[in-house]
Structure 1
Amino acid sequence: MQIQAVETTRLDWTGDALAIALWEGQTEITGELAPLNERFQGTLQELITETEFEGKLGTIATTRIGSNSPVRKLILVGLGQAESLELDHLRTSAAAIARTAKQQNVKTLGIALPIAQDPALSAQVITEGLLLALHVDNRFKSEPDPKPAQIETVHLLGLGEQSAAIAKAEAMIAGVILARELVAAPANVVTPITLAETAAELAEDYGLTLEILEQADCERLGMGAYLGVAKASDLPPKFIHLTYTPQGTPRRKLAIIGKGLTFDSGGLNIKGAGSGIETMKMDMGGAGATFGAAKAIAQLKPDVEVHFISAATENMISGKAMRPGDILTASNGKTIEVNNTDAEGRLTLADALVFADKLGVDAMVDLATLTGACVIALGDEIGGLWTADEGLAGELQRAAKLGGEKLWQMPLEDKYFEGLKSPIADMKNTGPRAGGSITAALFLKQFVETTPWAHLDIAGPVWADKESGVNNAGATGFPVRTLVNWVLS
């Protein structure tokens, strides 16, 4: 599919389907829309009247136009109140248009949406919405269904030449799609070994530097927390460290650390029936987004050095498995009493954070499908954000808003660490049920000494049970767009 921004107006465009936006309450065609309605012999007004179209955000109406018309079909999309227009409204409207055009077997599509902020950003987010909505993952079906989109050409009308903005969107969404497909793949396809192979492919394709620490390397570094989780699996752990280095002196150095549990059985505290164990292929959502961000950033080539890190393993059950009551020693020397083997992600992140903290970066962010408590607190569409650095919090919030992804800053209440204290070790790996996502963040904080750090709990928004906005049902690729925008800021 070729996407182009053009000077052509909606009045002059010709092709299969023309998509135009209406504001809420705009039920009578007047002003600059009147010539378009006249061109279509009143079809625009008829469509509004017959469907009682009110222009509410995200609503869609379609109709065919007479056979003599230079445009075969008309698509209306509601944008809500004009004074409330946000950049993300263009993204989600483009997604709704794309799905409708696909259903209508459209090959050439013209999109006329208003400009939000500036033409380049508008072209970028419209492109993002189109590509995200049209992505279909049929890898594991013998007879792919639904059929791939037939849309061949999309013209973004009235935006002028915006090839750079469109290319930026295409690079970013390539990263989102990589994350989606890593998270959606079953645990017999995406393993610690294949995650390392994915990193190797990214390094080869985009000129990144790759370091893989094998089990013996991790033992030498004293990564007892990570290796405690990995012990029960027949598959070897892979500690993955990708680095993007710009030409010249980097303006900034950053690290992104993603939880990489390719399957989580719960360990000896096994997840029972009804616990969602069948969905635990997505427990590497942090790693998936980390590598998706790496793919996008390597193409966009910012003047920022970025380290992408994941301590990949499975949490399985065997005679070698860590037991409740075991004490593990992390690579910074801190000891951990394991009181729940199903709180394993924070153990792998502990050693990954110690590793990243020693790189001398200016800031680092970890992201993980860490706690059900965060899902209870924030639901399925909002990720939790914890940090003691308000400057970093602001950067991430702005990056998330620009990307159309939702983060909510949560309290990093130091007093709650009392619930993690152990009588026989420095800490336990879980605290009381109350405030579970906060104590998880406080646990991670123990493994960061000097670097400004933020923790993102993405357990809810990494997966969508049904189509919503730019996300189709399944893996969402959250929060790749946020991470990329943060690096580029």
Structure 2
Amino acid sequence: ATPASASGATVASPAGPVGTARATEVDVSAAADAGTPELLIAAVYDDLELPDAAAPAADALKELVEADEYKGAVGASASVRLGAKRHAAVVGLGDKAACGADAWAAFGAAAAQRALDAKAATVAVALPEGADVATVTRALLVGATKEQRFKKDAKEGTLESVVLCVAGGASDADVAAEIAAGKAVADGVVLCRELVDGPPNCVNPAGMARVAQDLAARFDNLECTILEAADCEKLGMGAYLGVAAAGAPPKFIHLTYTPPGGAEGEPVAIVGKGLTFDSGGYNLKAGAGSMIELMKFDMGGSAATLGAAAAVAGLAPAGPAVHFIVASCENMVSWNGMRPGDVLTASNGTTIEVNNTDAEGRLTLCDAIVYAQRNAKATKVVDIATLTGACIVALGDEIGGLFTPSDEMAAALEDAGARGGETLWRMPMRASYKKGLDSSIADMKNTGPRAGGSITAALFLKEFVEEGVDWAHLDIAGPVWDGKKSLATGFGVATLTNWAVAQGK
């Protein structure tokens, strides 16, 4: 049951639906010849050599490049009118020797913007030999999908079809396969962005659960289980339920991907932080810089997890079963809410003194990580979360933090990120910093000193990883959100998808 798009879950709201954009409404195909599109886009390195398929507009593009002193920098573009409703453009890839997935992604995004600016219905893209067709397809489709679900006067997109013309004689079958792969990941990224962009009165725990159920209904290779609060209580998830106590009813989401023909190898799991709104609890986010108005994005890790589930299901790779787990809830204030000073008991028996209710994400994650190991039997676990402001301070808004004691896991995730155009930076996990989590009355506190906050958060989570299990933590608090556009980025989907697919190789 392959869907037209991974996005498709309708979550009722006063303003409109969540999960309805279609990345694949634009038809992407391959051809040797560009034909006569309304917009012809040529991909150029900084040597400014035009691909073969750009020949119909070569003279105009050469004049454009010379007149604009165009240098072919990554994502830089320029365009020229060829006639009535016809344009041509160049979009840069930068240095050929240094051109990686990030450059191809920037190219695809810039190409999409050129198409939207020109209001073109038909576009041909002339690509050089060796082009990363999957990444171009993904970035182009994501770039062409604009967030306007909650606007009264939504504008219909004009782009209908894109033809990719790849130089070098690549086989039609190979290019078609790369396009299909790009479409699958694009759907996952669009779903992720929709969930993060969606307002918290729509994207709440129940809404997240419905999105997961919709994915399972669309893909035969996905199975969905939703645990209610009573189910979680039976499993001893006192840390997760402590956070959830004051908010909307929590929903513990478990999607399982089973490859065609059956799973091979040990199961793996991806665990996403799913705080659909984080007020901070009694340690209320208040004052300038608290970002409480943006705390809908505190479920960015779970959005990336569900987006990756959609992408993996669409790609249908061979290999092990992949479990996608989200402990979804809100962190609110109420008479029955978690208080500073409370002691919670996690599902592995660890007692936790809550010295800051605004360090709630790790409390939900620890029970989800235990579940991934004990219930899903995962021997490799990656958790992904908008966990700490400290990681934003350390790495800014373009780089995700990678924490793991395993060199093998670090290398695999760094490679997965690089192939997806998403940058991860491995951070230290200094054992001596764990002393900052010592509690006088419980096994540990949920936060340590202010200094090294992202490290102590990772060390907290490490306490819930069982012997023999490979684990990594991704802190994506910075790159999950584009502050200039005030929109979600979809960060994490490509990395998680690439990592999951690689488990079968």
TM-score (norm 1): 0.91
Structure 1 contact 5–160 (Cα < 8 Å) conserved: no
The answer to whether residue 68 in structure 2 is matched with residue 51 in structure 1 is yes
Structure 1 CA distance, aligned partners of 2:93 and 2:263? 44
Q: Which residue of 1 aligns with 2:269?
A: 255
Structure 1 residues 41 and 372: alpha-carbon distance in aligned structure 2, compared to 1, 3 A threshold = closer
Corresponding position: 1:457 with 2:457: no
Residue 8 of structure 2 is matched in structure 1 by none
Task: State the distance in 2 between where 1:210 and 1:41 align.
Answer: 52
Aligned-pair RMSD on alpha carbons?
1.9
2:101·2:420 contact (CA, 8 Å) conserved in 1? no
Q: Read off the aligned partner of 2:484 and give its amino acid letter.
A: K
Superposed CA deviations along residues 20-39 of structure 1, whole A, max 9, x for unmatched, are: 1333254xx8x987x967x6
Choose which of 214, 217, 235 in structure 2 pairs with 1:201: 214
Structure 1 segments unaligned to the other structure (5+ residues): 468-472
Residue 179 (1) aligns with residue 179 (2): no
Deviations 1:4-35 (A, max 9, x none): 11222x6xx32222111333254xx8x987x9
Specify which of 145, 150, 159 is matched with residue 151 of structure 1: 159
The answer for the alignment partner of 1:82 in structure 2 is: 96
- Provide the C-alpha distance between the structure 2 equivalents of 1:328 and 1:125, rounded to a whole number of angstroms: 44
Q: How many residues of Structure 1 are paired with residues of Structure 2 in the alignment?
A: 466
Matches within 5 A, 1:475-486: 475-486=488-499
Which position in structure 2 is the counterpart of 1:470? none
Select 2:303's aligned residue among 268, 273, 288.
288
2:113 to 72, 86, 99: 99
Counting aligned pairs with the same residue, the percent is 51
Report the CA distance shift for 1:42/1:415 in structure 2 as closer, same or farther (over 3 A).
Answer: same
Residues 74 and 106 in structure 2, CA contact (< 8 A), matched pair in contact too: no
Question: Where do 1:329-348 residues align within 5 Å?
Answer: 329-348=345-364
- Alpha-carbon distance in 1 for matches of 2:117, 2:73: 21
Superposition map of 1:240-319 within 5 A: 240-246=253-259, 247-274=261-288, 275-303=290-318, 304-319=320-335
Instruction: State how far apart, in whole Å, the 2-side matches of 1:254 and 1:36 are.
Output: 45
Contact 1:90-1:113 within 8 A present in 2 as well? no
Corresponding position: 1:474 with 2:487: yes
Give the secondary structure class of the aligned counterpart of 1:15.
coil
Measure how far apart 1:163 and its partner are: 1.6
Cα distance change of structure 1 residues 160 and 75 upon mapping to structure 2, 3 Å threshold: farther
- Counterparts of 2:125 and 2:95, CA distance in 1: 19
**Aligned counterparts, 1:335-414, within 5 A:** 335-358=351-374, 359-414=376-431
Instruction: Verify the 8 A CA contact 2:43 2:51 in the aligned structure 1.
Output: no
In structure 2, relative to structure 1, the CA distance for the partners of 1:40 and 1:232 (3 Å cut) is closer
Residue-by-residue CA offset, 1:49-105 (whole Å, 9 max, x unaligned): 2212122222111111256xxx93210112222222223322211211111121111
| Cα deviation digits, residues 413-446 of structure 1 (max 9, x gap) | 1110011101111111000010000000000011
CA offset digits 1:121-161 (Å, max 9, x no partner): x22111011111111121111112xx343122211113541
Look up the match of 2:336. 320
Is the Cα contact below 8 Å between 2:139 and 2:186 reproduced in 1?
no
Query: Contact 2:100–2:421 (CA<8 Å) still a contact in 1?
Result: no
The one-letter code of the counterpart of 2:150 is F
1:41 Cα offset (Å): 8.3
CA contact (8 A) 1:260 1:283 kept: yes
| 1:238 Cα deviation after fit | 1.2
Aligned to 2:17: none
- DSSP 3-state at the match of 1:259: strand
State how far apart, in whole Å, the 2-side matches of 1:177 and 1:21 are: 24
Equivalent position SS for 1:423: coil
Map of 1:225 onto structure 2 = 239
CA distance in 1, matches of 2:401, 2:117: 36
